[in-house]
């Protein structure tokens, strides 16, 4: 509610208005007060202050109007496929963004000037007492305008975040459609989000996405090279792991062979000893056989001799 108009009416004796006037409505002409009077001085102060209020109000209205136009332009940019038209729309959006920043700066300067005008009325205790009602109304008016300015700034930030989110989502969808992994599989969500974020940081938003394919292709090529290097490293890792297993198995086999060699050596020593014993047994049996044959021949000879002697006798 704007009570400034009521106060201006009351200063010149017209009384409060029945319907408070909005900030965006037309400004009522000030009734003429006697020159040099306190009423005339008050009217001049309020006139100067109200001009600043109108400037802030117009700036805020310009911001809201530009925001509505910018929202429509963002929708057109996302729906447009033609590159040249997208560039034109993006240029218009950039100009609107500059206009919003300028209007916001004017509004902030206006609110600051409102505060300075109120401080000027407090330069001396006499003036502060003299214009107590004006000071109170100006402070209320400044708080009201500051609240409106804070609201419009918050609205601008929300719309910027919304537009950025929409562009990011559209970029992610286009990346999923246009590109795949080196093995032909679909890009996962984390990779797509990372690539889309890089594209957004590089300025390749939805509107200039068509012209930024080289940038995206280069990033994807780099990513694919890293992916291939990673796969090669994994293959080498598997190869070294297999080689380590083979070496370990060969080591186990060598241990078995060494144990077999030791066992064979032991068996060879035992067999050599047994062969020596067998040779000794063989030589001993031969000697016994020769002795037995000799004894048998002697016995046979004795029998033959005895037979011959018996036949002669």
pLDDT, one tens digit per residue, over 132-150 is 888 888 888 888 988 888 8
Between 180 and 118, residue with greater pLDDT: 118
Residues 6+ apart with CB under 8 A from 172: 192, 193, 196
pLDDT at 61: 92
User: What's 183's DSSP letter?
Assistant: T
Give CA separation, 107 vs 23, 53, 64, 148, in Å: 14, 9, 13, 10
The domain segmentation of the chain, as residue ranges, is 4-208
Q: Mean of the per-residue pLDDT values for the chain?
A: 76
Is the pLDDT at 81 greater than 80, yes or no?
no
- Please compute the mean of the pLDDT values over residues 111-131 and round it to a whole number: 84
The angle at the Cα of 95, spanning 93 to 98, to the nearest 5 degrees, equals 110
Q: Higher pLDDT residue, 173 or 50?
A: 50
Cα distance between residue 193 and residue 184, in whole Å: 19
Residue 119 vs residue 77, higher pLDDT: 119
Q: How many residues does the chain have?
A: 313
**pLDDT for residue 9:** 52
How would residue 23 be classed by pLDDT, with cut points 50, 70 and 90?
very low
The pLDDT of residue 181 is above 70: no
- Cβ-contact 220, 199 below 8 angstroms: no
Sequence-separated (6 or more) residues with CB below 8 Å from residue 53: 4, 23, 110, 114, 141, 145
Q: Half-sphere exposure of 93 toward its Cβ, with a 13 Å CA cutoff?
A: 22
CATH topology of domain 4-208: Methane Monooxygenase Hydroxylase; Chain G, domain 1 (1.20.58)
């Amino acid at each position: 509610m704007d009570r400034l108009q009521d106060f201006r009416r009351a200063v010149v004796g017209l009384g409060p208005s029945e319907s408070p006037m909005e900030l965006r409505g037309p400004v009522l002409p000030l009734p003429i007060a006697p020159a040099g009077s306190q009423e005339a001085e008050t009217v001049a102060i309020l006139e100067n202050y109200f001009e600043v209020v109108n400037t802030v109000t117009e700036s805020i209205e310009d911001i809201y109007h530009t925001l509505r136009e910018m929202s429509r332009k963002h929708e057109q940019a996302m729906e447009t496929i033609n590159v040249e038209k997208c560039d034109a729309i993006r240029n218009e959006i950039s100009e609107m963004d500059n206009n919003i920043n300028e209007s916001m700066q004017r509004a902030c300067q206006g609110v600051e000037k409102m505060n300075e005008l109120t401080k000027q009325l407090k330069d001396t205790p006499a003036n502060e007492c003299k214009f107590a009602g004006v000071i109170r109304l100006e402070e209320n008016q400044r708080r009201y305008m500051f609240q409106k300015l804070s609201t419009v700034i918050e609205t601008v930030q929300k719309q910027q975040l919304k537009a950025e989110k929409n562009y990011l989502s559209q970029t992610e969808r286009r990346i999923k459609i246009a590109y795949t992994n080196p093995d032909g599989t679909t890009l996962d969500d984390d990779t797509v989000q990372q690539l889309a974020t890089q594209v957004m940081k590089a300025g390749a938003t939805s509107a200039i996405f068509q012209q930024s394919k080289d940038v995206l292709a280069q990033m994807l090529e780099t990513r694919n090279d890293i992916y291939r290097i990673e796969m090669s490293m994994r293959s080498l890792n598997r190869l070294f792991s297999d080689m380590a297993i083979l070496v370990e198995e060969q080591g186990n086999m060598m241990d078995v062979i060494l144990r077999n060699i030791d066992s064979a050596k032991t068996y060879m020593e035992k067999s050599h000893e047994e062969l020596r014993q067998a040779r000794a047994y063989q030589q001993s049996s031969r000697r016994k056989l020769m002795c037995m044959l000799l004894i048998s021949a002697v016995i046979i000879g004795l029998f033959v001799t005895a037979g011959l002697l018996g036949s002669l006798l």
